[in-house]
Structure 1
Amino acid sequence: MKNLNDATQENVEFMIETIKTKLRMATGAAMQASHFNVEKYEDIKDLYEVVSSKEKFSISEVEALVSELGKLRNK
């Protein structure tokens, strides 16, 4: 298990890639890990923990999670 206690860009990118994989995002290519930065670390980590805690997601859950992820992207 990766140590996610430190707010680093590397950890942000790891969490974003894990979220994309777990949600099987069709638009994953548009959601580049580099479009997120450390300033939103705690929010990204919270989302990562939600995604990591579940095995399967409904369509509405995926849509809600992707929407939240989109809000955390750099503008």
Structure 2
Amino acid sequence: MDLTKPTDENVMYMVEQIKEKLRMVNVDAMKAEHFNTDKYDDLLYMYNMVMKRNHISSNEIEAIAAELGSLRN
């Protein structure tokens, strides 16, 4: 998948991967359709950061979730 292109499909993929990696409990609050390509670069940055990490603390998960919340439509 070519994540360099800001497409709706890529947004959906990244959001789903982030949710899976963080094992988010309230996945309904973070639906891919709540995001669009307007803030694609910010979402891509978050995706890359999360995917690089082997362990993410609960405090970091909260901070990431808050940041993702600010990227929603």
TM-score, normalised to structure 2, is: 0.96
**How many residue pairs align between the two structures?**
73
Aligned residue for 2:64, secondary structure, equals: helix
1-structure distance, mates of 2:29, 2:21 = 16
Q: Which stretches in structure 1 are left out of the alignment for 5+ residues?
A: none
Q: How far has the Cα of 1:3 moved from its partner?
A: 1.1
TM-score, normalised to structure 1, is: 0.94
Q: How far has the Cα of 1:5 moved from its partner?
A: 0.8
Read off the aligned partner of 1:58 and give its amino acid letter. S
Partner of residue 20, structure 2: 21
Partner of residue 53, structure 2: 54
Q: Which stretches in structure 2 are left out of the alignment for 5+ residues?
A: none
Calculate percent identity across the aligned residue pairs. 47
Partner of residue 69, structure 1: 68
